[in-house]
Amino acid sequence: MSKSSDARIAHFLKEQKEDAQMLAAQAQRLPDDEVKRSQFVADLRAKWAADNHVIREVVNEFATKLNIQLSYIDLGSPLPHLAAQARIIGRIGGQNITVDLHLDLSGTLHGGQSQRVGAQQARFVSKRTIAVMTAWRQEYEDFVLDLLEIE
């Protein structure tokens, strides 16, 4: 024997209500995650802004101590998958150098060089990484020396 029309409609409405409640709960969690992520990225960019002068000082200090030409350029955050970018350029031992710094949205600072893969594509090759949210001056000094391949 089949259910009555009223029972079928009641069952359907109950399922719709349960689905709506589940979707509402999921929708509520999603903005919370997005807010947390947005806050982390904002905190990360603030830490980067605070540390930027430290990295610049380290680069300038090493240029003076090592008697080499080095410049530090903050490139901001021009790409959506990066929190920030910077570049160290100069000359060491008669060789031009360019070292790129990429701060990803997880808080990891990658340092290395972009190498040509094809006629127009470049691939970033990271030699070293550090966690920016916990980084301090000595870590930046070691990071820069490693990137400049100074033992």
Domain boundaries, the chain: 37-147
The owner of tokens 């605070």 is 50
pLDDT tens across the length of the chain (151 residues): 567 888 888 888 888 888 788 877 776 766 677 788 888 999 999 999 999 999 999 999 999 999 999 999 999 877 888 999 999 999 888 888 889 899 999 999 998 876 555 555 555 566 789 999 999 999 999 999 988 888 7
The pLDDT of residue 71: 95
Q: Is the pTM of this model over 0.85?
A: no
Angle between helix axes 5-66 and 137-147 (nearest 10 degrees) is 70
All residues at 6 or more sequence positions from 108 whose CB lies less than 8 Å from its CB, including other chains? 129, 130, 131, 132
Longest CA pairwise span in the chain (Å): 94
- Cα separation, 47 vs 53, in Å, equals 11
Q: Tell me the β-bridge partners of 113.
A: 125
The pLDDT of residue 72: 96
